Every structure is written in structure tokens, then in C-alpha cells.
Homo-oligomer: A and B are copies of this chain.
Amino acid sequence: MSLTLDSTPRADGFYMPAEFAPHVGTWMLWPQRPDNWRLGAKPAQKAFVAVARAIAQFEPVTMGVNHNQYANARQMLPPEIRVVEISNNDSWMRDCGPTFVINGHGMVRGIDWKFNAWGGLYNGLYFPWDLDDMVPQKVLEIERLDRYQAPLVLEGGSIHVDGEGTCLTTAECLLSPGRNPDLTQEQIENYLKDYLNVEKVIWIPRGVYNDETTGHVDNLACFLRPGEIALTWTDDTADPQYERSAEAYDFLMSQTDARGRRFKVHKIHQPNPVYITAEEAEGVDAVEGTLPRQAGDRLAASYINFYFCNGGAIVPTFDDPHDAQALATLQELLPERKVVGVPAREILLGGGNIHCITQQQPRG
């Protein structure tokens, strides 16, 4: 039974645990829309399979699919990955999926945020997004978990928590006019406190340059553990990302978390700038209302868009000279985990990366 609750996680003693806390499994959605994924999404599907396989080494994975891709997904995925029908407009489980909360006494529930495709009719990336918006309820029904309905537009990729009372986000995203134009920053912060059950929200000014999510924090910075943050970085002061990363660094160094700790911030150098090729752009259907993919567009490539799973960290690679250093640094920073690189250019071409296509279901 999956009930819809009128209260908030905070009122009920539930909170969002950190991604690096134990999971029962990972949820993903299957890519297919040809106006976002080139060549009928076949290369993206291969990349998603590689991510799912990498995670499945560490924990169970469930792939949600539209019914007309069920047979294909079932065929392409190994048998240990569960495939279930969950209709969707696109495959960003981080952003349209539920945020799970726990109460520390074995219970798990889900938050169903409002979803409007990263900006609705103002600057959203496609229309409609009705199926995406129903994904949390469907996931929670399958798992027989109760559901909180949060009264604000929010994607999972725009928040990170340390599990000890601190939430990281960006003002660029959460205050963008496409999300909650009628809410003040204080009102949004209060909702984050009530639903994630955190004490303090850290508002980094901006996310990654040219990130079509309007600056999701999950492409810029993440907690490695309470008090420690990894931040995407570039040493190239001429790169437009430089001032964004430097700004975030300075800001984070000026802040303390909910427990009063100063942050230790680790810089992870980004790959060289990634641009869409003409061949790649030609593989995408042009559809009115969907963000076009144009040759020469700069993609928001970042190693920070990785995913924690039980005993592992699945990190995007870009066939780039910086790959090895990023993997080595993250492995050094996460000695208790196995860091696994997965080629992710095909995911990046769709507008996100490994963190954006995954959603952890924590252990209760």
C-alpha cells in the first residue's frame, strides 16, 4: 500500500540521507526520444546499459521503460537488472524521480516534487512533461512506499545533502524564473528544510557554464562525506567555467555546515571543453519545443556528475586527457570505495550525466 501523506518528512521524523549512505538499490529510466538522443537513442541506450551494469556490480538496479521499449531494453540489459514499465517523457530519473527519505527506524518514504522539465513554459527543455511528473508516484507504488507531495517545482539534481543537516544547492537554479516564480528564497529554503529535514541550506551562486538545467548543483559540486566537497574546476582562466568554479570555491570556503564545520573543498579538474560535432547534431530529430542540439554547442562536461552506490562510485569519462587524473583523485578521496569510470559522452550529448540518470533508494 502506498499512501499519499499530507504532512512533511520533518513533521514525521523522516530525512533525506546522503547519497553515500547505504542503498537498497538504484532507479533509472531508459532513453528513447529521438529529439534528444541521436540516432534513435541507440548510442545512449548502450551508454545507459554500461552505467546500469557498472552499478549492478554494487547494488540492484531497476530500469523504468515506456512500454514500446520494454522488449528492447529487456534484450539489451543483463538479466540481473530489473525492467519495469514506467512511462516517461525522457530518462532523467534524478530529476523527475522521487527523493527518498528515511526515519532511522527502518522506514522509507518518497518525496514527489513538482516537475516541469527544468523550467516549464518559461525555459523548459521539452513539452509535455506529464509522464515524467508521475514517475515518483509510480516508483513508490511499485515499492509500496508512502508519498509526500511537495508543493514546489524541484529536480533531484538541484540538491545534495550530507545526511547531517546540510543541503547544497545553487541560487541560479532554485531561484530561476522557470521553477517557482511566486516563491521567495526564504519560502523555498523553508520547503527544503521541511521536506529534506535539513537545518541549513548552502546557496552556491551558480552552477556549471551552459548547463541546460539552469545550474544544477550535481554537475558542479557534491559531498564526499560530511564537511568535504568535490568541486568541478578549471585552471584555464579564459574558460567561462573558471569564474563560476572560483566563485563557488570562494563561497564554499566562507561557509560552515549545519554542524558548524568549515568545508574542505577538493577541486576536480574538468575535461577539456566538449562541443557537439556536426555528425552528432545531425543524428537528433528537430522538434519544435525541444531544446535543439546544434553543432558547436558547448556541453557542460564535469566529473562531479558521478554516482555513489554501495561500495562504489560510477564516474563519467570523456576520452579526455583529464580522465585519468579525475579517476585517480576521486579514488584517493574515496579510499573506502571502488571508483569505476564509464564512458559518458553519449549521456552528456543528451544534456546530463551519470548522476542525472540515477536515483538511489536508501536502506530504511
**Pairwise interchain contact A131-B79, C-beta atoms closer than 8 A:** no
Q: Could you tell me the distance between the alpha carbons of A74 and B74 in the complex, rounded to whole angstroms?
A: 26
- Contact indicator per residue, chain A 1-17, by CB within 8 Å of chain B (1) or not (0): 11110000000000000
5 other A-B residue contacts (CB within 8 Å) besides A74-B137, A85-B86: A2-B79, A67-B87, A70-B134, A71-B134, A82-B142
Q: What residue of chain B has the Cβ atom nearest to residue A65's Cβ?
A: B85
A66–B67 Cα distance when bound, in Å, is 9
Among residues of B, the one whose C-beta sits closest to the C-beta of A79 is B3
Q: How far is the CA of A226 from the CA of B138 in the complex (A)?
A: 40
* Contact status B4-A141, CB under 8 Å: no
Which one, B83, B87, B134, B141, contacts A141 given CB within 8 A?
B83
CA of A79 to CA of B141, assembled, Å: 10
- A262 close to B (CB within 8 Å): no
Interchain nearest-CB distance for A326 vs B (Å): 32
Tell me the smallest distance from the CB of A129 to a CB of chain B, in Å.
Answer: 14
The answer to whether residues A67 and B82 also contact, given A1-B60, A60-B1, A142-B142 and a CB cut-off of 8 A, is: no
Q: How far is the CB of A53 from chain B (nearest CB, A)?
A: 13
Binding site for B on A (CB under 8 A): 1-4, 60, 66-67, 70-71, 74, 79-80, 82-87, 131, 134, 137-138, 141-142, 144
Using Cβ atoms and an 8 Å threshold, which residues of chain B touch A84?
A: 84-85, 138, 141-142
Which residues on the B side are within 8 Å of A82 (C-beta)?
1-2, 141-142, 144
Q: Which residues of B contact A67 (CB under 8 A)?
A: 66-67, 85, 87, 131
Residue of B nearest to A2 (CB): B82
CA A104 to CA B1, docked complex, whole Å: 27
Q: Which residues of B contact A2 (CB under 8 A)?
A: 79, 82
Distance of A48 Cα from B60 Cα, bound (Å)? 34
Which residues on B sit within 8 Å (CB–CB) of A71?
134
Query: Are A70 and B83 in contact, with the CB atoms below 8 A?
Result: no
How far, in whole Å, are A84 and B141 apart by their CA atoms in the complex? 7
Contact A79 B4 (CB under 8 A): yes
Cα distance A138–B137 in the bound complex, in angstroms? 18
* A138-B79 contact, Cβ under 8 Å, with A60-B1, A67-B67: no
- B residues near A79, Cβ cutoff 8 Å: 1-4
**28 chain-A/chain-B pairs, Cβ below 8 angstroms:** A1-B60, A1-B80, A1-B82, A2-B79, A2-B82, A3-B79, A4-B79, A66-B67, A67-B67, A67-B85, A67-B87, A67-B131, A70-B87, A70-B134, A70-B138, A74-B137, A82-B141, A82-B142, A82-B144, A83-B141, A84-B84, A84-B85, A84-B141, A84-B142, A85-B85, A85-B86, A85-B87, A85-B138
CA distance A120 to B60 in the complex (A): 38
6 A-B pairs closest in CB distance: A67-B87, A85-B85, A1-B80, A82-B141, A3-B79, A84-B142
List the B side residues contacting A1 at CB < 8 Å. Answer: 60, 79-80, 82
CA distance A71 to B135 in the complex (A): 12
With both chains docked as a complex, state the minimum distance between the C-beta of A15 and any C-beta of chain B, in angstroms.
Answer: 24
